[in-house]
């Protein structure tokens, strides 16, 4: 069962745990980076999102940064009720225009 919500990346970054986001197309990847930049997010190295490389998996961090997810993060994303570094993992599918689907 999944839950559809609408909201900002900032709201997602405030969840109590790790937030991993999946985008199903290059257009969704581009929209995600544009939304992240419009909300003031940067990559962990201070690069603006639209100046970074698109990817179909990203992490949203509570310090208003985003980062790429590697192989182990992608594997964790595929596991229901996973945790990362002892924190709950929130699996989110980005649908564009501020719409998200929490994958349970």
User: Structure pTM?
Assistant: 0.90
Q: Where are the beta strands (DSSP E) in 7-103?
A: 18-23, 42-43, 57-60, 65-68, 83-84, 87-96, 99-103
- Please state, in angstroms and rounded to a whole number, the distance separating the CA atoms of residues 65 and 103: 22
Residue 1 has pLDDT above 60, yes or no: no
pLDDT at residue number 100: 86
Per residue in 33-78, pLDDT (tens digit) is 999 999 999 999 999 999 999 999 999 999 999 999 999 999 999 9
């Amino acid at each position: 069962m999944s839950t559809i919500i609408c909201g900002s990346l900032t709201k997602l970054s405030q969840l109590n745990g790790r937030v991993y986001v999946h985008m199903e197309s290059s257009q969704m990847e581009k929209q995600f980076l544009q939304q992240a930049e419009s909300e003031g997010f940067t990559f962990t190295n201070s690069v603006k999102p639209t100046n970074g490389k698109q990817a179909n998996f990203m992490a949203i961090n509570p310090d208003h940064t985003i980062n790429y997810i590697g192989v182990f993060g992608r594997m964790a994303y595929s596991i229901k009720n996973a945790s990362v570094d002892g924190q709950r993992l929130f699996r989110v599918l980005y649908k564009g225009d501020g719409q998200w689907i929490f994958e349970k």
